[in-house]
Amino acid sequence: MLELARQAVATGTDAERVAAALVEQLRAPDLRIAFVFADWRLDPGAIARVAQRGLAPAPVVGGTTTGVIAAALASAGGGDVTPLAAAGLGLYGDWVRVGIGVAPELPKSALGRSRDAVEHAAAALGARAPELDPARHLGVTVVDGRSGHVESFCIGSAAAAPQIRVIGGCAATDVEPARRAYIWVHGEALVDAGAVILLETELPVYVVTSAHLLPTAARTVVTGAAGRVVTELDGKPAAGRLRELVRQLGDELDRSELPLPTRYAFARYVAGAPYVRSITYIDGENISLASAVEPGHVLRLMRPGDLIGTTRRDLAAAAERVGGTMAALLAMSCVHRHWEAAARGIERELAEAYAAYPMIGYQSAGEQAGMLLVNHTLTALAIGAHR
């Protein structure tokens, strides 16, 4: 059987050597594209430059992360020391055609530049965005998760071709506000930018969206917010009101959890479906979320459900949808899932659930589901081994 996809993993502190090791594992004459993700502590410029130079003419796209995801690293889950790592997924052969567009300098016009990126990617496939076929085309995005314009990028990229599925993830970095997240494309590391990758294929593919949080009875209205910072809920200081809501559920928001409370999150319900906004940290009375909300939004307080069982069920369903065997699984797994797993002592179980499939991916700072940015979600692309 022809090789459709290949996984690669490398560890170490020297970014150039790590990237070179990925190149050695992924290089082949029929390589069509390489997705590469690397620990945020590795030099992003070196990862981008060395990987692209070694794998050209195939394009290399990806970004920084707080943790790469690969079966070969599953045994490291839950350890005291996590190695600096990078992971790559190569797609090979005539089963796939690729078009890439870049949306640079998002603060200048995130909506317009993300739409243009889709058009450029479609042109590389010999089409215009409205002509893309939902039976053969889909979009994958990678965007700087520290940019304040991620939500607009999601809207613009998905709205440019609303007939196709568009999923993606945000490049991540350490929680320290001064740290930047990077994406890379065509050998260049970028901030405040996003990339749109259009894939054209006849193989069976399936978009996985796995979310395990459950709604509580508690609802609240945002009465004060600026971007991702909520200052008031129900006309009261936000953090104090959150504690009141948790007490109404018979629980307490343990101050020892702060600044990263992982047990609860918020969700907006749109057409009956929850779109989670994870709590990143609490600073005094302000609550910082991983996705923006606006005054007037009604939020439901969410609590953890069965993270491991839901993940296993949704991945098994994806395998069945693509014919029983996956050639590859490209995954964007929200960092809040991993924080929750660490807090509950189930990191190893989550890593093993992922390692049951040929998954390569990264811990993301948010996930794109069509036009919306969501959190606490596993968003992935399952590619079948044959039709």
Percent of the chain with pLDDT over 90: 80
Residue 292 confidence (pLDDT): 87
Residue that terminates a domain, selected from 303, 325, 344: 303
Q: What are phi and psi of 258, to 5 degrees?
A: -70, 150
In a shared domain, residues 129 and 181: yes
Q: What are phi and psi of 68, to 5 degrees?
A: -85, 155
Residue 2 confidence (pLDDT): 72
80 vs 140, more confident: 140
pLDDT above 60 for 215 = yes
Q: What is the residue range of 225's domain? A: 214-303
In a shared domain, residues 119 and 243: no
Report whether 88 contacts 34 (CB < 8 A). Answer: yes
* Alpha-carbon dihedral sign for residues 31, 194, 170, 123: negative
165-171: strand order across its sheet = 96-103, 194-201, 137-144, 165-171, 367-369, 372-374
Residue 80 confidence (pLDDT): 42
In a shared domain, residues 180 and 151: yes
DSSP designation for 82: P
In a shared domain, residues 103 and 51: yes
* Helix/strand/coil percentages in the chain, nearest 5: 30, 40, 35
Cα torsion at 55, 387, 196, 41 (round to 10°)?
Answer: -50
Of 30-34, 45-49, 102-106, 268-272, the least confident = 268-272
Q: 258 in helix, strand or coil?
A: coil
Residue that terminates a domain, selected from 254, 270, 303: 303
Q: Which of 30, 134, 44 is nearest to 362 (CA)?
A: 44
For residue 71, give Cα distances in angstroms to 15, 79, 89: 21, 15, 12
Q: Each residue of 227-249: pLDDT tens digit?
A: 889 999 999 999 999 999 999 99
Beta carbons within 8 Å of 350's beta carbon, 6+ residues apart: 77, 307, 308, 311, 337, 338, 341
Residue 72 confidence (pLDDT): 80
Which pTM was predicted?
0.92
Assigned token pair, 371? 């036009």
Q: Which of 273, 276, 244, 278 is nearest to 259 (CA)?
A: 278
Q: Each residue of 165-182: pLDDT tens digit?
A: 999 999 998 866 668 999
In a shared domain, residues 142 and 237: no
Average pLDDT of every residue of the chain: 92
User: What average pLDDT does range 120-148 have in this prediction?
Assistant: 96
Percent of the chain with pLDDT over 70: 94
Pairing of strands 359-364, 326-334: parallel
pLDDT above 80 for 78 = no
**If residue 321 lies in a helix (H) or strand (E), which one and from where to where?**
helix 307-321
User: What average pLDDT does range 83-87 have in this prediction?
Assistant: 92
Residue that terminates a domain, selected from 303, 327, 343: 303
Tokens 């797993």 belong to residue: 341
Residue 73 confidence (pLDDT): 81
User: What average pLDDT does range 261-267 have in this prediction?
Assistant: 79
Q: How many CA atoms lie within 13 A of 91 on its CB side?
A: 26
Amino acid letter for position 34: A
User: What average pLDDT does range 123-136 have in this prediction?
Assistant: 97
DSSP designation for 351: H
Per-residue pLDDT band at 187 (split at 50, 70, 90)? very high
Direct distance between the N- and C-terminal alpha carbons of the chain, in angstroms, rounded to an integer: 13
In a shared domain, residues 242 and 202: no
Residue 177 confidence (pLDDT): 63
Of 25-34, 142-151, 184-193, the least confident = 142-151
In a shared domain, residues 124 and 175: yes
How many structural domains comprise the chain? 2
Of 5-14, 109-118, 286-295, the least confident = 286-295
Residue 82 confidence (pLDDT): 60
In a shared domain, residues 82 and 96: yes
316 vs 148, more confident: 316
Per-residue pLDDT band at 273 (split at 50, 70, 90)? confident
Neighbour-count burial of 221, counting CB atoms closer than 10 A to its CB (0-12 exposed, 13-18 middle, 19+ buried): middle
Residue 251 confidence (pLDDT): 87
In a shared domain, residues 80 and 143: yes
* Alpha carbons 66 and 84: distance in angstroms, whole number: 10
Residue 77 confidence (pLDDT): 44
329 vs 77, more confident: 329
Of 22-36, 75-89, 109-123, the least confident = 75-89
Per-residue pLDDT band at 254 (split at 50, 70, 90)? low
Assigned token pair, 224? 């004060």
Q: Each residue of 309-321: pLDDT tens digit?
A: 999 999 999 999 9
In a shared domain, residues 183 and 229: no
Residue 387 confidence (pLDDT): 66
In a shared domain, residues 121 and 27: yes
**If residue 124 lies in a helix (H) or strand (E), which one and from where to where?**
helix 106-124
In a shared domain, residues 53 and 137: yes
